[in-house]
Amino acid sequence: MSVKLSTRQVGDVNVVDVAGRITLGEGSSALRDLLRDMVGKSQKKILLNLGDVSYIDSSGIGELVSGFTTVTNQGGQLKLLNLTKRVKDLLQITKLYTVFDVHDDEAAAVRSFA
Amino acid sequence: MRRGALTMGKNSRAVTETIERFLDSTLESVDDAEELALQEAEKAGVPEDDLHKIAMAVRESMVNAVVHGNRYNAHKKVHLSVTKSPAEFVVTIADQGEGFDYEHLPDPLAQENLLRHSGRGIFLIKAFMDDFQVRRLEPAGTEVTLVKHLVSK
């Protein structure tokens, strides 16, 4: 199973519900393409809901980081929602947990966008 | 190609078992190797917490072999070997590429590298396994050995 991405709008925040695997190949490139597309359409308040992500490898971590820098460099914000324990552990051992703004509650996450 | 080997102990109980595969240099092989390692680790009684770590270490090593080692070359194979014994679970992955310098990889935890797109694979393998060895092969290739100890610590 690869990744499934679906987008929805909550106020002026674009929420991306990510499910499945963000791994080298289709999974990570699909996420990269979607984030670039969103930034291209000036959708710069992006909340990635990773609650249904079963697996993420170093390539997937790379895509999260690249997405973060792409959105930030365009004056936007990319935040993370509902990390599974595995993803949280990965971000902690790679010291990326403090780089991202991570939330457990969607409503609070949406409100946190300036 | 498939080969298996059993080493019998004095009491005729199998003490080690090795499964080998010669895989194409494709991303499908990455998935296949990960799945095989996961299945064998489950059979070997590897604790639940360690199963995901082994699967991910195998995945990262296979990606290195297929993408960076063999560079998707259809004429080059990846040799996967999974060995189970009561004491440890060992996976070796060998490519036929030109190899690269494992000794001088940038530290992915350094502040200046934190936001780099890549460079975390080897770090994660080392974090997830109990032992990690790299060996240059002649005339070409790199072999990595991943070890997870099964004895209680």
In a domain, B18, yes or no: no
Give residue-wise pLDDT tens across range B71-91: 999 999 999 999 999 999 999
Residue B4 has a pLDDT of: 53
In a domain, A40, yes or no: yes
Let me know if A99 is exposed, middle or buried by CB neighbors in 10 A (0-12, 13-18, 19+): middle
B114, B121, B127: residue with CB nearest A93: B127
In a domain, B6, yes or no: no
How many residues are listed for chain B in this entry? 153
User: Which residues of chain B are within 8 Å of residue A63 when distances are taken between CB atoms?
Assistant: 117
A25, A57, A95: residue with CB nearest B114: A95
In a domain, A14, yes or no: yes
In a domain, A114, yes or no: no
Residues of the domain holding B132 = 25-149
Asked if pLDDT for residue B12 goes beyond 50, the answer is: no
Residues of the domain holding A98 = 4-109
Give residue-wise pLDDT tens across range B125-143: 999 999 999 999 999 999 9
Residue B103 has a pLDDT of: 81
Q: Is the Cβ of B68 closer than 8 Å to some Cβ of chain A?
A: no
- Number of structural domains (chain B) is 1
ipTM of the complex: 0.90
**Mutate which: B118, B122, B126, B129, vs A, most A CBs within 10 A:** B118
- pLDDT band for B106, please (50, 70, 90 cuts): very high
pTM (2 d.p.)? 0.89
In a domain, B13, yes or no: no
> Chain A residue closest to B117 (CA)?
A62
Q: What is the CATH number of the domain that holds A26?
A: 3.30.750.24
Q: What is the CATH number of the domain that holds B69?
A: 3.30.565.10
In a domain, A101, yes or no: yes
Percent of chain B clearing pLDDT 90 (strictly above): 82
Give residue-wise pLDDT tens across range A32-63: 999 999 999 999 999 999 999 999 999 999 99
Asked if pLDDT for residue B92 goes beyond 80, the answer is: yes
In a domain, B45, yes or no: yes
Residue B49 has a pLDDT of: 86
Residue B25 has a pLDDT of: 98
- Number of structural domains (chain A) is 1
Mean pLDDT of chain B: 90
Phi-psi region of A82 (alpha: psi -120 to 50; beta: other; left: phi over 0): left
Asked if pLDDT for residue A65 goes beyond 90, the answer is: yes
In a domain, A12, yes or no: yes
- pLDDT band for B1, please (50, 70, 90 cuts): very low
∠ at Cα B137 (B131, B142), nearest 5°? 55
